[in-house]
Amino acid sequence: MFVSFRMALAVMMPFVLFLLFLMGSSEGQLQVGFYSNTCPEVDSVVRAVVRDAVLSDPNMAAVLLRLHFHDCFVEGCDGSILIDNGPQSERHAFGHQGVRGFEVIERAKTQLEGSCPGVVSCADIVTLAARDAIVMANGPAYQVPTGRRDGMLSNLSLADDMPDVSDSIDLLKTKFLNKGLTVKDLVLLSGAHTIGTTACFFMTRRLYKFFPGGGGSDPAISPKFLAELKARCPENGDVNVRLAIDEGSEHKFDKNILKNIREGFAVLESDARLNDDIATKNVIDSYFSPFGPFFEPSFEADFVDSFVKMGQIGVKTGFLGEVRRVCSAFN
């Protein structure tokens, strides 16, 4: 029996090794130029669709950045937020309130399906669209690795742990750490608020119900700015009124958002909290050297590093997941 077992093992070994090879290759790796042979027009198609969308709606650049962030923080960067198969779909989660841009992704997908069907994943389109949106906002151009597959799961309960504007700084740090992101990543990714707007709906607590038991405003708000915010978002007023998140620089990608946070001009509560914590405050301060800009790290370059890192959270590659034909529905 021992001899038979050894002979059987010798016969099976090549097959076992082949299976291990397949398992390893099924996980795959993201890489720049993943579609260079199978769909070389992917970059130009997505870029053109994003350009048209941003020209029609200047706030769309920020919308596409937010869409990428929200996708990656639930089930990884797998396009799960795009699925719309009923009220339990992830996109309807409370933590995804105000997220949009779905039609831009679908428009790019439709064009790509016409030229290279079944090749480019919706998850990669979301990632590429975010990159091109940054460029449209005068931000840095950069290369992004692709090769993601679309996920097979979408449920609103999975978005329960999305970072929220009213989270404490400790909770924000924990949520980012759980995704493999550092304190520096937290600051830099919050820097995406350098473009875009928010609604008064997200300001009510900070302006009028900040303290336990209700009442009062966040003391971190500059007194002059507090008056301006209350004028734009009066108590019991229209909660759908929108205001720039980065006061004075809402359409330009720059580090002005960090300057506003330092000086008490942060609009969002979560941004203001970055100036309360020593670790996150030190990161912010590092971009404002008293010796001048030549002694500061590049906010743009560091943002790109963190954004690309975020884009690799929980990705599915190789034989994992699928390439959807329509981004809003499983195949």
Check pLDDT > 70 for residue 25: no
In the annotated binding site for heme b, the residues are 193
The rounded mean pLDDT for the chain is: 91
Close Cβ partners of 83 (under 8 Å, ≥ 6 residues apart): 89, 90, 91, 154, 328, 329, 330
272 and 302: one domain?
A: yes
From 135, 159, 183, the end of a domain falls on: 159
The residue-averaged pLDDT of 25-38 equals: 80
149 and 275: one domain?
A: no
Check pLDDT > 60 for residue 41: yes
Which pair of structure tokens corresponds to residue 51?
Answer: 């350009």
In the annotated binding site for substrate, the residues are 163
In the annotated binding site, the residues are 71, 74, 76, 78, 80, 90, 163, 193-194, 246, 254
Q: How far is CA 137 from the centre of its chain?
A: 16
The residue-averaged pLDDT of 236-253 equals: 93
The residue-averaged pLDDT of 207-213 equals: 88
Three-state DSSP state, 262: helix
d(CA 207, CA 140): 34
Close Cβ partners of 271 (under 8 Å, ≥ 6 residues apart): 190, 193, 245, 257, 261
Looking at the domain assignment, is residue 25 inside a domain?
no
d(CA 35, CA 141): 19
Looking at the domain assignment, is residue 10 inside a domain?
no
d(CA 256, CA 260): 6
Three-state DSSP state, 322: strand
Per-residue confidence (pLDDT) for residue 12, from 0 to 100: 52
Percent of the chain residues topping a pLDDT of 70: 92
Q: How far is CA 157 from CA 5, 83, 153, 177, 218, in A?
A: 49, 14, 11, 20, 30
201 and 155: one domain?
A: no
70 is catalytic: yes
Find the radius of gyration of the CA atoms of the chain: 23
Looking at the domain assignment, is residue 7 inside a domain?
no
The number of domains in the chain is: 2
Three-state DSSP state, 243: strand
CATH of the domain at 126: 1.10.520.10
d(CA 184, CA 310): 12
Per-residue confidence (pLDDT) for residue 117, from 0 to 100: 98
Per-residue confidence (pLDDT) for residue 27, from 0 to 100: 41
* List of E strands, the chain: 197-199, 242-244
CATH of the domain at 287: 1.10.420.10
173 and 154: one domain?
A: no
Q: Which of 173, 169, 192, 175 is nearest to 184 (CA)?
A: 173
Q: What is the pTM of this model?
A: 0.90
From 159, 188, 212, the end of a domain falls on: 159
135 and 204: one domain?
A: no
Looking at the domain assignment, is residue 191 inside a domain?
yes
Please tell me which residue in 70, 92, 96, 251 is annotated as part of the active site: 70
Half-sphere exposure of 253 (CA within 13 A, CB side): 27
In the annotated binding site for Ca(2+), the residues are 71, 74, 76, 78, 80, 90, 194, 246, 254
269 and 174: one domain?
A: yes
d(CA 92, CA 80): 12
Check pLDDT > 80 for residue 260: yes
Looking at the domain assignment, is residue 1 inside a domain?
no
150 and 178: one domain?
A: no
d(CA 121, CA 79): 8
Half-sphere exposure of 272 (CA within 13 A, CB side): 22
| Residue 178: domain span | 169-310
pLDDT digits (tens, 9 = 90+) for 69-124: 999 999 999 999 999 999 999 999 999 999 999 999 999 999 999 999 999 999 99
52 and 134: one domain?
A: yes
140 and 199: one domain?
A: no
pLDDT digits (tens, 9 = 90+) for 279-302: 999 999 999 988 877 888 999 999
Half-sphere exposure of 156 (CA within 13 A, CB side): 13
From 159, 192, 211, the end of a domain falls on: 159
Looking at the domain assignment, is residue 330 inside a domain?
no
180 and 296: one domain?
A: yes
pLDDT digits (tens, 9 = 90+) for 155-191: 999 999 999 999 999 999 999 999 999 999 999 999 9
Per-residue confidence (pLDDT) for residue 230, from 0 to 100: 97
Per-residue confidence (pLDDT) for residue 294, from 0 to 100: 82
Check pLDDT > 60 for residue 9: no
**Confidence band for 28, pLDDT divided at 50, 70 and 90:** low
Check pLDDT > 70 for residue 15: no
Three-state DSSP state, 312: coil
d(CA 44, CA 157): 36
179 and 75: one domain?
A: no
Per-residue confidence (pLDDT) for residue 5, from 0 to 100: 44
pLDDT digits (tens, 9 = 90+) for 194-209: 999 999 999 999 999 9
270 and 297: one domain?
A: yes
pLDDT digits (tens, 9 = 90+) for 117-144: 999 999 999 999 999 999 999 999 999 9
Looking at the domain assignment, is residue 277 inside a domain?
yes
Looking at the domain assignment, is residue 69 inside a domain?
yes
